[in-house]
Amino acid sequence: MAVVDPRETQLASIAQYHLGIKPGTDSVLLNALANVIITEELWNKDFVNARTEGFEDLRHWVKDYTPEYAEQITGIPSDTIYQVAREYALAENASILYTMGLTQHLSGTQNVYAVANLAMLCGHVGKENSGVNPLRGQNNVQGSCDMGALPNVVTGYQKVTSKDVRNRFATAWNIKSLSDQFGLTVGEMMDAAQKGTLKGMYIMGENPILSDADAGHAKAALENLDFLVVQDIFLTETAQLADVVLPAASFAEKEGTFTNTERRVQKIRQAITPIGNAKADWEIICLLANAMGYEMHYDSPAAIMDEIAALTPSYGGISHKRLEIRGLQWPCPSPDHPGTLVLHTEKFARGKGQFHRAEYIAPSEQPDKDYPLVLNTGRRLYHYHTGTMTMRTGALEKHYSNEHLEVNPIDADKYGLEDGSVVKVISRRGEIQLKAQVSSVTPPGVVFTSFHFPSAPVNKLTSPKRDAISGIPELKRCAVRVEKSH
Amino acid sequence: MSSIDLIINGQQITVPEGSTILEATEMLGISIPTLCHHPSLSGVGSCRLCVVEAETRGRKKITPACMEKAKPGMVVETETAEVVEHRKTILELLLANHPQDCLTCGSNGDCRLQDYSWQYNVKSPGFTGDRHDYKIEDDNPFIIRDMNKCILCGRCVRMCSEVQGNSTLDFAHRGFDTKVSTAFDLPLSASECVFCGNCVAVCPVGALQEKKLRRTARTWEVEKVKTICPYCGTGCGIELNVKDNKIVGVTSDDGEVNGQSLCVKGRFGYGFIHHPDRLKNPLIRKNGHLVEASWQEAVELIAEKLDDIRNNHGSDSLAVLSSARCTNEENYLLQKFTRAVLGTNNIDHCARL
């Protein structure tokens, strides 16, 4: 096991290799691994020849990414890069798992390209116990994407730019037409709200005030709206800004399905009646649609799933009745289809796997005289996202009650900090205050904290610069300075 | 793989080579009492409660079914008088150093020592001698640890090292003083423990209990509803323990992706469901303040305002954030609402964050 992380996490401590990477330089490491695998002729010739295209391009693109060059940029010893490359290439099965550490950078998309290149180069894809897996941070983030809660696709990733798709949905939904224009991503929505071109927003179960990059900007943007509706189970920081707040039922109070990180659609079951006058989100949406003159009636979530199945080839065979027995992994195109355990076994979605050029795009902020440290952000085991739920359990928040800033002992000496010192962390966008924890988990030059605690809203500091392709903000890295608070 | 024929309680059975006697009996639906054995963990054969009589080529022996491999021509009897006598003695020995406080024990009704004592009619310890008097560990918000009730089966030790990969627990000391302990016998809260509670899930007695659950409901009072964890994207199966229309705890059984394993959030992070801060009524901003309103008033206001903005500024002046916390059905409906009713593709959620 090789763990790539700037910090020596618990997982890193039990791994065979810990690659303590400088934040934001992942594509350089990944290209260097490909460089070694190609130079030493360790690549899977059968797989590359039969299943992929563009290999000669890849050879050319990664030629200059030698481990020695990568060592200078990533800080990872070249010897380690050689070893990991050889072990990955020669393993019978190998899996690459990643999370936001790879994607929340300006070069996030490039990093993912580089991961895909590596897996295809070694043929570690399309078979059991191998492949590439982005681990999903939220119970139904996979399902939200599958269901078309995205500005460019409807369900099952069917593009809104396709006339055929729009026609099919317009007929099923009994409307004249669907917009053929891509909508705004969450970051673009905040920009448009700030500019005043976006007038009204409807937010269901999200708390962008704490989760968005450059949270000060997100707050100002939402305050600039003419009308804001928030539907949630708690009066979140975002809900406090709303004109109307609607009380939603929690997962324990309704029926439905979640799709997990391995595409497994599973049934959730109602255990108790909704709290107070709260209603399930699906019931609320129906109420609202009907109030706006659009007929929307369903007996139950099972009936909604039937409609999803009819419009979505990959969910075509999924029904609540089948899910009562066990979960189903999509694609599951028909009622007699058992679901799909492993993707890409015979061919990729586009046919042959295409190698992509994965460029290194340097992070937007390098440490300088005024902001000499790199701020890395992430999550803690005991908490979840913006803390809406985990700060109210009577258990988790008692055990892990205060957030702190991890500072390496070398930096602590440099800036006169002790364990427990209250510090101000200041970026070009804002400042927060919290206690320092002097710890060698985080390397010199880097400080770390989470975004769970409303009392230390780290996204006031983070950079709103976004990956040009995915629109994902560069949350994993910005430049800060740390001052002892008096 | 070759197969093996043997006879258990007079019934002929064929099992794959390498199967234990216990696995063979399970195939026949014959139940054998076990304490240390767990199908997800390595075998240790330490409790000896699963002993059976096994005869191979005329040689008879009493042997633990969980460890003894099935052999060709083996003849097994699972409930002979001698076997039962062995089991009773083991139970008497365990009870000799186990508090008889079943009346108030949180695990009453879900305790294997209790079940087997009933099954074999073991009413009293049968032996007298020293008893442990360990302090009950109660200083963390998740788990109560009462080592006086521990029967040293080692399931927790193996769960922690073999499944969780954390190796927080191990046996310390020798003989009567043997104890499951953290390093330096520190409380869990001062150890490397990550409070996944997977040790609690496999504890066959009341030595490890979920703190809140076992103080709120007797084991037979709860209805268990199988559902999926509300936290990360792994999709672990959980059982919501319901009493009087309240979630009083979470347990794990046989989740499709997780078996009995959960993390601290999934097992102990359910308290938000009944937190007093839960929104119970719609709120409408009036004179700068959010005040309670009826559903009808709230929905009519939203419909009117969204309609106004759409008519005056166009559909693309509206945007919707959906939720990775809501169900597929709800995400589907919200994007349908956005596209079909509001008329825009301005819909996204926090997949990017």
A464 prior amide bond cis, ω within 30: no
Structure tokens, A307: 């409609």
Q: Which of residues 107-146 of A touch B (CB under 8 A)?
A: 135-146
- Residue A398 shares a structural domain with residue A256: no
Contact at 8 Å (CB) between A311 and B316?
no
pLDDT at B277 over 70: yes
Please indicate, yes or no, if residue B305 is contained in any of the structural domains: yes
pLDDT at A90: 96
User: Between chains, do A278 and B225 touch, taking CB under 8 Å as contact?
Assistant: no
For B66, the domain range is 3-79
- Mean pLDDT over B176-197 rounds to 95
Distance, CA of A307 to CA of A322 (rounded, Å): 15
Please indicate, yes or no, if residue B250 is contained in any of the structural domains: yes
> Within 13 Å of residue A479, how many CA atoms lie on the same side as its CB?
11
Which chain B residue is nearest to residue A187, measuring alpha carbons? B352
Please indicate, yes or no, if residue B196 is contained in any of the structural domains: yes
- Residue A142 shares a structural domain with residue A20: no
User: Between chains, do B233 and A138 touch, taking CB under 8 Å as contact?
Assistant: yes
Please indicate, yes or no, if residue A191 is contained in any of the structural domains: no
- Mean pLDDT over B85-89 rounds to 96
- Mean pLDDT over B122-129 rounds to 86
Q: What is the DSSP letter of B273?
A: G
- Residue B242 shares a structural domain with residue B203: no
Please indicate, yes or no, if residue B90 is contained in any of the structural domains: no
User: Between chains, do A277 and B280 touch, taking CB under 8 Å as contact?
Assistant: yes
Interface test with chain A among B251, B279, B313, by most A beta carbons within 10 Å: B279
User: Between chains, do B352 and A227 touch, taking CB under 8 Å as contact?
Assistant: no
User: Between chains, do A141 and B324 touch, taking CB under 8 Å as contact?
Assistant: yes
From A74, A105, A135, the end of a domain falls on: A135
Please indicate, yes or no, if residue A58 is contained in any of the structural domains: yes
- Residue B318 shares a structural domain with residue B288: yes
- Residue B238 shares a structural domain with residue B161: no
- Residue A30 shares a structural domain with residue A94: yes
- Residue A265 shares a structural domain with residue A388: no
- Residue B235 shares a structural domain with residue B309: no
Which chain B residue is nearest to residue A291, measuring alpha carbons? B303
Q: Within 10 A of B137 (CB to CB), how many other CB atoms are there?
A: 17
- Residue A10 shares a structural domain with residue A77: yes
Please indicate, yes or no, if residue B108 is contained in any of the structural domains: yes
From B231, B250, B278, the end of a domain falls on: B278
**Cβ-Cβ contacts under 8 Å, A193 against chain B:** 319
Distance, CA of A435 to CA of A417 (rounded, Å): 10
- Residue B238 shares a structural domain with residue B332: no
- Residue A262 shares a structural domain with residue A149: yes
Residue type, A427: S
User: Between chains, do B340 and A382 touch, taking CB under 8 Å as contact?
Assistant: no
For A168, the domain range is 137-183+250-270+296-330
A256: β partners: A268
Structure tokens, A322: 């089948």
Residue type, B348: D
- For B278, counting Cβ atoms within 10 Å of its Cβ (0-12 exposed, 13-18 middle, 19+ buried), the class is buried
- Residue A81 shares a structural domain with residue A129: yes
User: Between chains, do B331 and A144 touch, taking CB under 8 Å as contact?
Assistant: yes
- Residue B176 shares a structural domain with residue B142: yes
Question: How many interchain CB pairs under 8 A, A with B?
Answer: 425
**Cβ-Cβ contacts under 8 Å, B323 against chain A:** 140, 144, 149, 204-206, 281
Per-position pLDDT tens, chain A of length 486: 999 999 999 899 999 999 999 999 999 999 999 999 999 999 999 999 999 999 999 999 999 999 999 999 999 999 999 999 999 999 999 999 999 989 999 999 999 999 999 999 999 999 999 999 998 888 999 999 999 999 999 999 999 999 999 999 999 999 999 999 999 999 899 999 999 999 999 999 988 887 777 778 889 999 999 999 999 999 999 999 999 999 999 999 999 999 999 999 999 999 999 999 999 999 999 999 999 999 999 999 999 999 999 999 999 999 999 999 999 999 999 999 999 999 999 888 889 999 999 989 989 999 999 999 999 999 999 999 888 899 999 999 999 999 999 999 999 999 999 999 999 999 999 999 999 999 999 999 999 999 899 888 888 999 889 888 888 888 899 999 999 987
Give chain B's domain count.
4
User: Between chains, do B230 and A185 touch, taking CB under 8 Å as contact?
Assistant: no
From B278, B297, B326, the end of a domain falls on: B278
Which chain A residue is nearest to residue B308, measuring alpha carbons? A200
A236 inside 8 A of chain B by CB:
no
Please indicate, yes or no, if residue A469 is contained in any of the structural domains: yes
Please indicate, yes or no, if residue B84 is contained in any of the structural domains: no
pLDDT at B326: 96
User: Between chains, do A208 and B321 touch, taking CB under 8 Å as contact?
Assistant: yes
Closest-CA distance, B75 to chain A, in angstroms, reads 38
**CA nearest neighbour of B106 among B208, B248, B251, B32:** B208
Structure tokens, B2: 């070759």
User: Between chains, do A247 and B280 touch, taking CB under 8 Å as contact?
Assistant: yes
- pLDDT tens column, B229-268: 999 999 999 999 999 999 999 999 889 999 999 999 999 9
User: Between chains, do B233 and A212 touch, taking CB under 8 Å as contact?
Assistant: no
Distance, CA of B151 to CA of B179 (rounded, Å): 9
Q: Within 10 A of A88 (CB to CB), how many other CB atoms are there?
A: 21
A272 inside 8 A of chain B by CB:
yes
Which chain B residue is nearest to residue A193, measuring alpha carbons? B317
Among left, alpha and beta (phi > 0; psi -120 to 50; other), residue B286 is beta
Which chain B residue is nearest to residue A160, measuring alpha carbons? B345
pLDDT at B9 over 80: yes
- Residue A161 shares a structural domain with residue A260: yes
- Residue B108 shares a structural domain with residue B209: yes
- Residue A174 shares a structural domain with residue A25: no
Of B189, B279, B318, the CB nearest to A199: B318
Give the contacts of B135 (CB within 8 A, at least 6 positions apart). none
Which chain A residue is nearest to residue B141, measuring alpha carbons? A395
A304 inside 8 A of chain B by CB:
yes
- Residue A131 shares a structural domain with residue A161: no
pLDDT at B25 over 90: yes
Domain of residue A147, CATH code: 3.40.50.740
Query: Buried (b) or exposed (e) across B48-70, using 16+ Cβ within 10 A?
Result: bbbbbbbebeeeeeebbbbbbeb
Domain of residue B228, CATH code: 2.20.25.90
Please indicate, yes or no, if residue A343 is contained in any of the structural domains: no
pLDDT at B14: 96
pLDDT at A416: 93
Domain of residue B167, CATH code: 3.30.70.20
Give chain A's domain count.
3
A245 inside 8 A of chain B by CB:
yes
Closest-CA distance, A63 to chain B, in angstroms, reads 32
- Residue A436 shares a structural domain with residue A308: no
Structure tokens, B165: 């990969």
Q: Which of residues 89-108 of A touch B (CB under 8 A)?
A: none
Q: Is residue B320 helix, strand or coil?
A: strand
Domain of residue B52, CATH code: 3.10.20.740
Distance, CA of A53 to CA of A62 (rounded, Å): 16
Please indicate, yes or no, if residue B93 is contained in any of the structural domains: no
Of B269, B299, B324, the CB nearest to A144: B324
pLDDT at A413: 95
Q: Describe chain A by its helix, strand, coil percentages, rounded to 5.
A: 35, 20, 50
User: Between chains, do B257 and A173 touch, taking CB under 8 Å as contact?
Assistant: no
**Cβ-Cβ contacts under 8 Å, B311 against chain A:** none
Please indicate, yes or no, if residue A47 is contained in any of the structural domains: yes
User: Between chains, do A141 and B233 touch, taking CB under 8 Å as contact?
Assistant: yes
From B253, B278, B303, the end of a domain falls on: B278
Structure tokens, B14: 């064929």
- pLDDT tens column, B295-332: 999 999 999 999 999 999 999 999 999 999 999 999 99
- Residue A259 shares a structural domain with residue A155: yes
- Residue B113 shares a structural domain with residue B70: no
- Residue B243 shares a structural domain with residue B263: yes
Residue type, A476: K
Contact at 8 Å (CB) between A244 and A262?
no
Please indicate, yes or no, if residue A433 is contained in any of the structural domains: yes
- Residue B32 shares a structural domain with residue B139: no
- Mean pLDDT over B133-149 rounds to 96
Distance, CA of A429 to CA of B307 (rounded, Å): 36
Of A189, A281, A392, the CB nearest to B330: A281
Q: Where are the alpha helices (DSSP H) in A317-460?
A: 320-325, 396-399, 409-414
Among left, alpha and beta (phi > 0; psi -120 to 50; other), residue A198 is beta
- Mean pLDDT over B175-187 rounds to 95
pLDDT at B350: 80
- pLDDT tens column, B42-75: 999 999 999 999 999 989 999 999 999 999 999 9
Distance, CA of A343 to CA of A134 (rounded, Å): 14
pLDDT at B139: 94
A6 inside 8 A of chain B by CB:
no
pLDDT at B351 over 80: no
Which chain B residue is nearest to residue A195, measuring alpha carbons? B317
Among left, alpha and beta (phi > 0; psi -120 to 50; other), residue A158 is beta
Please indicate, yes or no, if residue B88 is contained in any of the structural domains: no
**Cβ-Cβ contacts under 8 Å, A16 against chain B:** none
Closest-CA distance, A389 to chain B, in angstroms, reads 5
Q: Which of residues 327-346 of A touch B (CB under 8 A)?
A: 327
From A330, A353, A381, the end of a domain falls on: A330
Of A139, A144, A279, the CB nearest to B232: A139
pLDDT at B1 over 70: no
pLDDT at A464: 84
Phi/psi at A75 (5° precision): 80, 5
Give the contacts of B335 (CB within 8 A, at least 6 positions apart). A147, A148, A149, A150, A154, A155, B320, B322, B347
Closest-CA distance, A89 to chain B, in angstroms, reads 26
